[in-house]
């Protein structure tokens, strides 16, 4: 990935916060993500386990972090294990971290090689009464293949069956939901780079371009500005493609008269931006497109106003759905009489708005956190209402990243054009 310098003080503080959340005489174990085979002898581009990165800043594969705050040997209270570099390995794969480099990045003093892992683990398990395992826990996503943390956890329970084993996921979720100033600065820069890529699209989009050409314009700005690339697979959806929420094949023509929905965001220093914009391919909204767009923009601004300490994502979503019910009637999608007779189990708004309004944002684009937790200063969430009308071959979504503050919130993407007049003016400046 692109090198972004982050102070080791951030990772040291993150580990200190973790230590305070652990029970006495505990051992917490974190493994790096697996390297995933793409084909033959090729791996997919590597991305670190977010919890391991949060605690160490290390992006290298085959890394292990052991934290045992009450271990009798003070040098073993936090240990980082890395691959042992050698000339043959580096000839093929490039530079690997030295112990000195890993210590400078993470702030950890005891650095060992993974060759010593098994022997060291036995030493650290003996005084531990309970072991925290960093198992994968995503309520909406259950992978078919067990990752390294899960495989190791199952093995460890067989080898040391008398220990008490505890889930790390709830602990890490509580730690990561509230962002530090350093984390917010990284997200802010990711948003700034995302803004530059959107302006590039406004300046270059013309009827007849392919969706993948638009993606290329975004990608080149990301890489040129020092981002690792996209924080997630970008959605570049013209016309009816925008009615498929996770469309990302990006292979159709951007036709004259269509709207183009883009859901994209830069990843900078391992932190994500998440932005959605919808623009007219030919630079001018039709009357109907503008009416639909302004309706979504109205709901977007309403939703943003609700994002403040004490509220929850779920309550905000509920209010947004009520607002959309009224907007849909104004747009002629159904009548007040239809609304009065709707089923509570199948409300009418779901025909045109079927996804959530917000999610947490951070190292992961869908970051750790849930919809019922009360918002607190330092949390970063998205605001992303939309409307999808398949019979009109139209989908519109607007999305910004919102920092919760003690006084309400700060829109981290307020500088990214969203007003339809501003979008049209920019698109037609050089036409």
Instruction: Just list the catalytic residues.
Output: 41, 246, 263, 274, 355, 359, 366, 384, 388, 397, 399
Decide: 299 and 324 in contact? Cβ < 8 Å.
yes
> Of 342, 348, 366, 343, which is closest to residue 356 (Cα–Cα)?
366
Q: What is the 3-state secondary structure (H, E, C) of the chain?
A: CCCCCCCHHHHHHHHHHHHHHCCCCEEEEEECCCCCEEECCEECCCCCCHHHHHHHCCCCCCCEEEECCCCCCHHHCEEEEECCCCHHHHHHHCCCCCHHHHHHHHCCCEEEEHHHHHHHHHHHHCCCCEEEECCCCCCCCCCCCCCHHHHHHHHHHHHCCCCEEEECHHHHHHHHHCCCHHHHHHHHHHHHHHHHHHHHHHHHCCCCCEHHHHHHHHHHHHHHCCCCEECCCCEEEEHHHHHCCCCCCCCCECCCCCEEEEEECEEECCEECCEEEEEECCCCCCHHHHHHHHHHHHHHHHHHHHCCCCCCHHHHHHHHHHHHHHHHHHCCCCCHHHHHCCECCECHHHHCCCCCCCCECCCCCCCCCCCCCCCCCCCEEEECCEEEEHHHCEEEECEEEEEEECCEEEECCCCCCCCHHHHHHHHCCCC
**Beta strands 26-31 and 130-133, pairing class:** parallel
> Of 152, 157, 132, 129, which is closest to residue 34 (Cα–Cα)?
152
What is the distance between the alpha carbons of residues 28 and 132, in angstroms, rounded to a whole number?
Answer: 5
> Of 122, 96, 97, which is closest to residue 111 (Cα–Cα)?
97
Neighbours of 278 (CB within 10 A): 28
């Amino acid at each position: 990935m692109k090198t972004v310098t982050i102070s080791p003080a951030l990772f040291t503080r993150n580990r200190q916060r973790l230590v305070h959340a652990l029970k006495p005489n505990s051992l917490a174990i974190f493994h790096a993500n697996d390297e995933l085979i793409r084909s033959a002898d090729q791996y997919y581009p590597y991305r670190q386990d977010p919890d391991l990165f949060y605690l160490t800043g290390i992006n290298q594969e085959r890394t292990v972090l052991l934290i045992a705050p009450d271990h009798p040997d003070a040098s073993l209270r936090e240990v980082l294990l890395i691959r042992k570099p050698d000339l043959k390995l580096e000839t093929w794969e490039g530079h690997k971290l030295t112990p000195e480099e890993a210590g400078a990045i993470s702030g950890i003093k005891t650095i060992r090689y993974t060759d010593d892992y098994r022997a060291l683990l036995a030493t650290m398990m003996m005084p531990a009464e309970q072991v925290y395992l960093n198992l994968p826990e995503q309520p909406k996503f259950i992978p078919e293949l067990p990752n390294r943390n899960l495989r190791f956890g199952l093995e460890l329970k067989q080898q040391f069956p008398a220990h008490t084993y505890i889930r790390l996921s709830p602990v890490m979720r509580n730690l990561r939901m509230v962002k530090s100033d350093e984390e917010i600065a990284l997200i802010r820069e990711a948003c700034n780079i995302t803004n530059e890529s959107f302006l590039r699209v406004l300046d270059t989009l013309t009827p007849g371009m392919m969706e993948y050409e638009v993606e290329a314009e975004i990608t080149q700005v990301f890489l040129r500005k020092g981002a690792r690339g996209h924080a997630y697979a970008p959605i570049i959806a013209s016309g009816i493609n925008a009615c498929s929420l996770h469309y990302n094949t990006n292979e159709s023509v951007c036709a004259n008269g269509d709207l183009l929905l883009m859901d994209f965001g830069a990843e900078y220093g391992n932190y994500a931006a998440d932005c959605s914009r919808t623009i007219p391919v030919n630079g001018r909204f039709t009357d109907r497109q503008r009416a639909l767009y302004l309706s979504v923009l109205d709901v977007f601004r309403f939703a943003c106003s609700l994002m403040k300490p004490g509220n929850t994502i779920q309550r905000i979503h509920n209010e947004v759905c009520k607002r959309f019910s009224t907007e849909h009637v104004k747009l002629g999608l159904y009548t007040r009489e239809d609304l009065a007779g709707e089923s509570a189990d199948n409300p009418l708004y779901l025909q045109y708005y079927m996804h959530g309004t917000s999610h947490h944002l951070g190292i992961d684009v869908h970051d750790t956190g849930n919809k019922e937790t009360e918002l607190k200063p330092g949390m970063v969430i998205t605001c992303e209402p939309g409307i999808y009308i398949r019979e009109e071959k139209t989908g519109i979504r607007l999305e910004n990243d919102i920092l919760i503050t003690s006084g309400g919130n700060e829109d981290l993407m307020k500088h990214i054009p969203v007003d339809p007049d501003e979008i049209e003016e920019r698109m037609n400046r050089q036409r």
